[in-house]
Amino acid sequence: PTPAFRVEYQRGGKPVGELTMANTPDGSWYARTEFTPGWTRMGGGLEPLAEEAVKLTAPRR
């Protein structure tokens, strides 16, 4: 999978974890955290949410 975006979680301004989302050429989405042994395939219906997150986390020009 190709990483698309990452979400970092904080509590009190200190990092407590992260979630990385990735997609494949066939449109499947995968997730990985610091606690998963590898990529985990996500269920259906995630595409619209993940595509919006990619837009929100893209560097601003």
Q: CA 5, CA 43: separation in Å to the nearest integer?
A: 18
Overall residue count recorded for the chain in this entry: 61
Q: What is the model's pLDDT at position 48? A: 81
Tens digits of residue pLDDT in 14-58 = 999 999 999 899 988 899 999 999 999 988 777 787 778 778 777
Q: What is the residue range of 9's domain?
A: 2-57
Amino acid of residue 6: R
| DSSP one-letter string for 31-60 | EEETTSSS-EE--TT-HHHHHHHHHHHSPP
pTM of the predicted model, to two decimals?
A: 0.73
Reduced to 3 DSSP states, what percent helix, strand and coil does the chain have, rounded to the nearest 5? 20, 45, 40
Q: Give the total number of structural domains in the chain.
A: 1
